């Protein structure tokens, strides 16, 4: 293989990639990177207000992208989105399941014990992360199954390997996402086509809306004791930046990983490798 053949593997021209949670911090950055590599991208989110900012970041290639409203927990809205996307771009080649998150009401604290975590909040976290990955995989995975080709990329988390303190539902839900990644990889390769692959990335700690309140002090911006503990436990001594995800995302979506399915790739600055001693 020479460098032009290698570059060709990462040329996504003519490929259509759907990104749920595409107006979020990580989903939006991944969307911009993929448009930059030639892909047509459908940003799918329940609230499209932030989409305009992301489309502007994509200039002069914003015509390769479309923002479509859908709730990852509402299968009919996903089916409707799939119709709109296929009408615009013809078909769907890849799905990135980036919608997910945690919430303070599902997080233990000095004021909220595990025993008092409200059922609604726990269910919200399970549903968003796990069901919110399964339902888009049903809708867009079916399009892939019909043509025998495609890639699904899920977003798991560090806490899928070993649970992190304070976030029981988020940890269990992301463990479910990793488990589902393996399950669907096997099911779809054996039952539909070995050319449909399902993998996941497990980001370490990236400062975004969902964890900023846990890792930094709202007033001063200084690290909380939890934020400090994470940095101390990360051999690379920093939080991740969205662009740290790009290499693994492009690899797993491209034919460069044609024989890779059912894996969960940590992108964590060494956090999961470090025993603490």
Ligand X SMILES: NC(=O)c1ccc[n+]([C@@H]2O[C@H](COP(=O)([O-])OP(=O)(O)OC[C@H]3O[C@@H](n4cnc5c(N)ncnc54)[C@H](OP(=O)(O)O)[C@@H]3O)[C@@H](O)[C@H]2O)c1
Cα→Cα distances 99→22, 139, 214, Å: 7, 15, 19
CA dist., res. 273 & res. 254, Å (int): 26
Q: How many residues bind ligand X (CB under 6 A)?
A: 28
Cα→Cα distances 251→44, 78, 110, 158, 219, Å: 22, 26, 42, 20, 39
- Binding part of the chain for ligand X, among 54-62, 103-111, 205-213, 219-227 by CB under 6 A, reads 205-213
- Whichever of 24 and 141 has its CB closer to ligand X, that residue is 24
**Rounded (10°) CA dihedral 96, 226, 50, 137:** 20
CB of 107 to ligand X, least distance (A): 13
Report if residue 80 touches ligand X, rule: CB under 6 A. Answer: no
- Whichever of 192 and 204 has its CB closer to ligand X, that residue is 204
CB of 267 to ligand X, least distance (A): 9
10 is catalytic: no
* Residue 265, strand partner residues: 201
245: enclosing H helix or E strand: none
Contact in structure between 76 and 51 (CB atoms under 8 Å):
no
**Which of 10, 36, 38, 46 is close enough to bind ligand X by CB under 6 A?**
46
DSSP-assigned letter for residue 222: P
Beta-carbon contacts of residue 102 (< 8 Å; ≥ 6 apart): 125, 167, 169, 170, 210, 211
CB of 276 to ligand X, least distance (A): 20
Taking residues 219 to 248 in sequence order and writing x for each that binds ligand X by CB under 6 A, - otherwise, the string is ------------------------------
Applying the rule CB under 6 A, the residues between 4 and 33 that interact with ligand X are 20-21, 23-27
CB of 103 to ligand X, least distance (A): 10
Applying the rule CB under 6 A, the residues between 145 and 174 that interact with ligand X are 155, 157
CB of 205 to ligand X, least distance (A): 5
257: enclosing H helix or E strand: none
Nearest residue to ligand X, by Cβ distance, number only: 24
**Which of 86, 91, 208, 216 is close enough to bind ligand X by CB under 6 A?**
208
Applying the rule CB under 6 A, the residues between 111 and 130 that interact with ligand X are 128
Taking residues 89 to 108 in sequence order and writing x for each that binds ligand X by CB under 6 A, - otherwise, the string is ---------xxxx-------
Residue with tokens 């749920």: 20
244, two tokens: 């740290």
- Whichever of 132 and 176 has its CB closer to ligand X, that residue is 132
- Whichever of 25 and 84 has its CB closer to ligand X, that residue is 25
7, two tokens: 């570059």
- Whichever of 147 and 212 has its CB closer to ligand X, that residue is 212
Contact in structure between 106 and 215 (CB atoms under 8 Å):
no
Q: Where are the beta strands (DSSP E) in 102-162?
A: 150-155
Question: Residues with catalytic annotation?
Answer: 170
Residues in contact with ligand X by CB under 6 A are 20-21, 23-27, 45-47, 71-73, 98-101, 128, 132, 155, 157, 203, 205-206, 208-211
């Amino acid at each position: 293989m020479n460098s032009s053949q290698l570059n060709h593997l990462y040329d996504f021209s003519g490929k259509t990639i759907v990104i749920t949670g595409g107006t979020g911090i990580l989903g939006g950055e991944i969307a911009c990177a993929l448009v930059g590599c030639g892909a047509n991208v459908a940003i799918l989110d329940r609230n499209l207000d932030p989409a305009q900012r992301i489309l502007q970041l994509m200039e002069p290639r914003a015509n390769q992208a479309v923002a479509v409203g859908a709730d990852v927990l509402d299968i009919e809205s996903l089916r409707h989105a799939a119709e709109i996307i296929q009408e615009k771009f013809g078909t769907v080649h890849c799905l990135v399941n980036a919608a997910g998150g945690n919430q303070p009401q599902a997080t233990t604290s000095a004021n909220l014990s595990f025993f008092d975590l409200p059922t609604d909040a726990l269910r919200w976290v399970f549903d968003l992360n796990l069901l919110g990955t399964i339902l888009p995989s049903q809708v867009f995975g079916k399009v892939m199954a019909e043509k025998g080709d495609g890639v699904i990329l899920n977003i798991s988390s560090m806490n899928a390997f070993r649970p992190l303190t304070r976030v029981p539902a988020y940890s269990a839900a992301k463990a479910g996402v990793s488990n589902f990644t393996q399950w669907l990889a096997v099911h779809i390769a054996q039952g539909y086509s070995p050319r449909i692959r399902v993998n996941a990335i497990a980001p370490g700690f990236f400062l975004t809306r969902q964890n900023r309140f846990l890792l930094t002090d709202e007033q001063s911006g200084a690290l909380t004791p939890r934020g400090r503990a994470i940095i101390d436990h990360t051999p690379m001594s920093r939080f991740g930046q969205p662009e740290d995800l790009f290499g693994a995302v492009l690899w797993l979506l491209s034919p460069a990983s044609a024989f890779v399915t059912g894996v969960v790739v940590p992108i964590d600055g060494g956090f999961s490798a470090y025993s603490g001693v």
